[in-house]
Chain A
Amino acid sequence: MQPDPTPEAMLSVRGLKKVYQTDGGDIEAVRNLTFDLRAGELVCLVGPSGSGKTTLLKCISGLMAPTEGEVLLDGKRVSGPPKKMAVVFQEYGRSLFPWMRVRDNVELPLKNQGVPKAERDKLVDEALEAVGLAHVPRSYPWQLSGGMQQRVAIARAIAYQPEVLLMDEPFAAVDAQTRADLEDLIRTIWKKFGVTVLFVTHDIDESVYLGERVIILSSSPTVVQEDIVIDLPVDRDQLETRSLPRFTELRHHVYEQIQLAKKGHRPAAAGSPADSTAGSAAG
């Protein structure tokens, strides 16, 4: 029923649908999503608030079972949090352990996996260095600014050496300057560690600046509106890249697609009853 995943796909989302069952009735958060990420890709997923981005990420990371469809990681179906995956959440203030110092936070997942002390130390040092926090290992997370807390969360993720890194609007709650720095940090880390990144955002500019590819989600009922390649140079710069005519074009295009989606225009392939066996959706 769904097209087969491309053979080299690292992460593959197949006909994913999620309906929340609540006391007030069923809520369809995601109708039908199908896309692939090749190993080492940096893909942005952009969609308006309430379009089911967080829901999708929870299904991909195995925190929640989809109502229909499946997620494949390296060809294997995801049924619980996979070892090869790390997630960075938007709420940095609630994703770090406030009773542990920065270093212990980064180290804990490795310790829990039984990574030997020497190797652990090396990985933690490297990760803290990479996010520019080598100087605060003994602080508690709540002693740091929001941007720094999110850096700690990123350090924890990369120290874990995941093959896939999922990020759910990680910079939505930090100020503009910090945000620009953190965006560049993500590109640097992506290049340095060769990890596959799925970066979720509601910010169109951010998605175009960061991604090698942008997947545009429609508003609810959520399907993939468009999947475009971002043909900007690999080395990006906040000022230069953003002033390129091509950047403006791409940004314009993404914006247009989202507006179209809001008006109810759907791509021909997805969401039509013919290509899906999905029963009638509630909500």
Chain B
Amino acid sequence: MKALKTLGYVLALPVLLILLWWVSTLGAVNFFVPTPASLVGKFGQVWFGPRFLSDVLPSVGRLLVGVVAAIVIGVVGGVLIGSVRWLRALLEPVLEFFRAIPPPVLVPVLILLMGITDTMKIAVIISGCVWPVLLNTIEGVRAVDGVLSDSAHTYGIDGWARVRYLVLPSASPQILAGVRQSLSLGLILMVISEMFASSSGLGFTIVQFQRSFAIPEMWSGIVVLGLLGVSMSFIFQWAERNILRWYNGQKEVENAA
């Protein structure tokens, strides 16, 4: 019963919106706005064919590799910079500078350096996604509680054990907040990296459809991007719920007190 209710809340608005869309496209024929039926038809036709292998999968693959690499670099770098005082003093001004650069402007530069390759596209994704993770990790590492840190130290929990048992778990709420930002950035950068001088991928295909006035096809591509974003967000939320069970529980207890 409760599950049904939850499902109801999740689906109510989407269903309403689709209904609205269906009603408003009933009589009118607008070249740029397809009806739901034609979009669904096109959707299957366009994406469940050879395009799935040639465009969708490679895009998603690059997105995953880029985001995962950004998370690893961000967390490792963040732990280092957050723990080593002189490194932080040295890097902080530079980090602010690099973070301020909008990643899309790097695309032409990276094309010059790496050519129009998968590596270039992944590099674009990394160059944008790494910052939220890196900066949040630094902040989380610096916020490790002093008493907890002293406790660990008196029990000889130092070096790698300190990182594993104290620093990473303690910073995990901030790290995950950074990852959340990176995921949505990653999707945007995946599309952008394929819009410049590319010959395959989701971003390329959508632009291609638009240029050839294949409007329902174009819309269906946008729907694919939306669905991709939503599924990433669901997977992330599930992971976050499990990793931060302790954190949410603790907060609940604190708020109740």
Q: List chain A positions with a Cβ less than 8 A from chain B.
A: 58, 61-63, 81, 83, 85-87, 89, 91, 94-99, 108-109, 112-113, 140, 142-143, 156, 160
Contacts and interface: CB of A to CB of B under 8 A. Distances in A.
A94 B253 contact: no
Given A62-B154, A81-B153, A94-B145, 8 more contacts: A87-B151, A87-B154, A91-B147, A95-B147, A95-B150, A108-B155, A109-B155, A142-B250
Nearest to A63: B150
A89 B151 contact: yes
A20 to B, nearest CB: 15
Contacts of B148: 94-95, 97
Central interface residue in A97, A99, A143, A156, by most chain B CB within 10 Å: A99
B60 to A, nearest CB: 32
Given A91-B147, A95-B148, A142 B157 contact: no
Interface of B: 145-148, 150-151, 153-157, 161, 165-166, 169-170, 172, 246-247, 249-250, 253-254
Given A112-B161, A140-B246, A97 B169 contact: yes
Contact of B156 (A63, A81, A94, A98): A81
Contacts of B254: 142
24 contacts: A58-B150, A61-B154, A81-B154, A81-B156, A83-B156, A87-B150, A87-B154, A89-B150, A89-B151, A94-B145, A97-B148, A97-B169, A99-B169, A99-B246, A99-B247, A108-B155, A108-B157, A109-B155, A109-B156, A112-B156, A140-B249, A142-B249, A142-B253, A142-B254
Contacts of A142: 246, 249-250, 253-254
Contacts of A98: 246-247, 250
Contacts of A97: 148, 165-166, 169
> Helix, strand, loop or mixed for chain B's interface?
helix
Nearest to A87: B154
Contact of A86 (B155, B165, B246, B253): B155
Contact of B157 (A85, A89, A96, A109): A109
Contacts of A63: 150, 153-154
Contacts of A99: 169-170, 172, 246-247
B246 to A, nearest CB: 4
Contacts of B247: 98-99
Contact of B151 (A85, A95, A113, A140): A95
B156 A113 contact: yes
A160 B169 contact: no
Nearest to A93: B147
A87 B146 CA distance: 14
A187 B189 CA distance: 64
Nearest to B172: A99
A180 B172 CA distance: 38
Contacts of A62: 154
Contacts of A83: 156
A187 B143 CA distance: 36
A89 B147 contact: yes
Contacts of B154: 61-63, 81, 85-87
Nearest to A94: B147
Nearest to B246: A99
B253 A143 contact: yes
A26 to B, nearest CB: 21
The 5 closest A-B pairs by CB, nearest first: A109-B155, A94-B147, A99-B246, A99-B169, A142-B250
Contacts of B155: 81, 86, 108-109, 112, 156, 160
